[in-house]
A = this chain, B = another copy of it.
């Protein structure tokens, strides 16, 4: 059964809106909307580092992720009430933190930590990749705030990070899957790239049909195209901040 996407081309991103400075209290923040997926991403500067880094003159970037109970089609259990974060939540926040650390020179950042929060207001697929894309802009705003106020002498950012999902649905390679596509896909790949050129993270899972090297290469090329477009949008949002 072949799948034909309605409303947008197979190789098109959803409509993306990145609103900078969405929350007044955070050092950096955006609201990112990728179609119906909407996430508040914030960066908070903490002048202390985790114990394993104390006294080493190096910084750290870490992330937390959460979903509002009503963000999903059927209400999710609130993790704070359940008393623990799910394995999925922990997996995603580890991915966000790792992805963003890949573009930061920790020595230049100095002995401080940047805490990223990604909170999903509305979920329609691709929340982990949209979190990374949005959080990079929040991180950049927070870092430039420190450059502006003199806390940082040199820019620790070594590049630009963005992410997107790609997958095969009904045999057709698609860019930027929404929730119905993601649920019914044969396989999907989450791709995080530096400067839309090199791979930082790739996580590919065959849900129903294992994929060949050739299929993987096609998906990665499609993802790279989407990431190049997202990188431009990140730049514009940062300019508007």
Smallest CB–CB gap between A203 and chain B, Å? 5
Chain B contacts for A89, CB-based, 8 A: 80
Contact in complex: A69, B117 (CB < 8 Å): yes
The CA-CA distance from A70 to B79 in the complex, in Å, is 17
Please measure, in the bound complex, the distance between the C-alpha atom of A211 and the C-alpha atom of B202, giving whole angstroms.
10
Which chain B residues border A70 with CB–CB below 8 Å? 23, 25-26, 29, 40, 42, 44, 117
Complex interface: chain B residues within 8 A of A98 (CB): 205
Q: By CB atoms of chain B within 10 A, which of A64, A73, A87 has the most?
A: A87
Contact assessment for B202 and A201 in the assembled complex, using a CB-CB cutoff below 8 Å: no
Chain B residues positioned under 8 Å from A213 (CB to CB): 199, 217, 220-221
Q: Which residues of chain A from 99 to 137 have any CB-CB distance to chain B below 8 Å in the complex?
A: 102, 115, 117, 119, 121-122
The answer to whether A204 has its CB under 8 Å from any CB of chain B is yes
- The interface centre, meaning the residue of A70, A201, A203, A221 with most chain B CB atoms within 10 A of its CB, is A70
Contacts of A199 in B (CB 8 A): 204, 206, 210-213, 216
Contacts of A210 in B (CB 8 A): 102, 193-194, 197-200
Pick the contact of A83 from B36, B84, B102, B205 — CB < 8 Å?
A: B84
Q: How far is the CB of A195 from chain B (nearest CB, A)?
A: 8
Q: Is residue A68 contacting chain B, with contact meaning CB distance below 8 A?
A: yes
B87:A91 contact, CB within 8 angstroms? yes
Q: A-side interface residues toward B, CB under 8 Å? A: 23-26, 29, 36, 40, 42, 44, 46, 64, 66, 68-75, 78-85, 87-91, 93-94, 98, 102, 115, 117, 119, 121-122, 189, 193-194, 197-206, 210-213, 216-217, 220-221
